[in-house]
Amino acid sequence: MTPGSDRIGETPSYYDLPVLKRPTWTWEVPAYFFVGGAAGAAAVIACVSGTRGTSNDSLARDARWLAAGGGALSAGLLVMDLGRPDRFLNMLRVFKPQSPMSVGAWTLAAFSSAAGAAAFADLVRDRTRGGLPVVVIGNAAGALSAATGLVMTTYTGVLIGATAIPVWNRHSRLLPMHFAASGLASAVSLLELLGHDHRALNSLALVAAAAETAAGAVIERDGGDASRPLKSAGSGWITRAGGVLSGPVPLVLRLAGASSPRARRAAAALALAGAMLTRVGWWAAGRRSADDPRLPLGLPAAAHAPSLGPPAAA
């Protein structure tokens, strides 16, 4: 038994010093998680709405620009966290399908490029009445951005769940669905606040709010020690506030005020705040979890932690 670990079930430590390295991520990473998730979901909405006739052209156009802007901003946030652009380029030298970090870097590169191309093709078509080549290129780019957008909404949850940090590893199965629902709610909320009042968007937001409510219930029902950072101290307050604002509150507002545009806009604004708080809460909980030598070690699902830090070293 390692010195400092004199009770069964505790993390081995050296005189109560943590075994895990605290995540070195700064504010750019939770912001990247939020922006990337919303952008990925927006690309999917753009692709689906763009195939349903001219009545959805405005919605599809705005969703494409949200995806393109979010893709560019996500790349900027990631480079800011890494410190130098060449570090991001170095992650693209080799593709490792078994590594969430490698898959994420390649997905971000493909997504931001495709989303930008789809939005630019839309602009060219509107201003020049471009012919078939522009339409084909735009549709192909839109389909690629939607496909990679699906990965963008979930891979960050896989990324942090594949580390040894106890609170993240404990919820490795929940995190991808949780982040996907949060990303969908964010994309729908942004589009609604831009003036799109579609019944389909409200239905998507209801699904996302119900999923977020279910995720919060799973976390609250989990009595494991590893989940303590999600329920106590500052990280717990942030996580719980994010869960309430992105789950039960918008769900009730949308159900009770189904015919009220004002209620739906309020639900959209609160869901956006909740989604951002959710990402910050998980980030803060991971830092606190790594600092606590009493928590049981997680078993990383990947050999390497993401190089956005790296967050953990077992």
pLDDT digits (tens, 9 = 90+) for 37-79: 999 999 999 998 866 554 568 898 999 999 999 999 998 888 8
Question: How many CB atoms within 10 Å of residue 15?
Answer: 9
The pLDDT assigned to 73 comes to: 95
CATH superfamily of 28-291: Formate dehydrogenase/DMSO reductase domain (1.20.1630.10)
Torsion of CA 121, 127, 133, 138, to 10 degrees: 20
**CB-CB contact of 188 with 219 (8 Å):** no
Confidence of residue 296 (pLDDT cuts 50, 70, 90): low
Q: Which amino acid is at 145?
A: S
Task: Measure the CA–CA gap between 236 and 243, rounded to whole angstroms.
Answer: 10
Helix spans in 162-198 (H):
166-170, 174-193
> 217-262 pLDDT, tens per residue?
999 998 888 889 999 889 999 999 999 999 999 999 999 877 888 9
Question: How many CB atoms within 10 Å of residue 258?
Answer: 12
212's tokens:
């977020």
Q: Which of 30-39, 97-106, 165-174 has the lowest mean pLDDT?
A: 97-106
| Domain regions of the chain by residue span | 28-291
pTM: 0.83
The pLDDT assigned to 16 comes to: 58
